[in-house]
Structure 1
Amino acid sequence: MSGNRGVVYLGAGKVEVQSIPFPKMEDPRGKRIEHGVILRVVSTNICGSDQHMVRGRTTAQTGLVLGHEITGEVL
């Protein structure tokens, strides 16, 4: 598989691997971010907060891309 994929929260008990856009190196106003990097994910894991979201014990909005426990290679 190639491209950019993420696990997306769809609601209590529902997640799905979806294609997601590659990140842009700019802030919400469109200003270029000078000190950012893009990582190729080498390994990932879930944490307790991810489990709470999947089980519906959260106020997270649907469409949220889960995951923050990663090891990556700077591209």
Structure 2
Amino acid sequence: MFAGTGGAMAYSVEESGANLPVEYRPWRFCRQVSTDGPTFRTGSDKRALGDVEAKGFSVVVLVVSLEKRSERMRMAGLD
């Protein structure tokens, strides 16, 4: 498992991560994972496993948005 810039996380068959997309470089190795577990076979990473088998890698970009509470309340009609 690798961490890149902009919230990118990736799985790769390349231990060096050399096959990962350049737009999220530099990639940092986080930890080795096993694809034999239930998370990859039936859980949330099943699609990622398919990508890894087809392309040799899978990338997900995690985006977190923080808003002020008053803005959320206004949008919900609670202000």
Q: TM-score, normalised by structure 2?
A: 0.24
Q: Which has the higher contact order (CA 8 A, sep 6+)?
A: 1
Query: Where is the strand percentage greater, Structure 1 or Structure 2?
Result: 1
Query: Where is the helix percentage greater, Structure 1 or Structure 2?
Result: 2
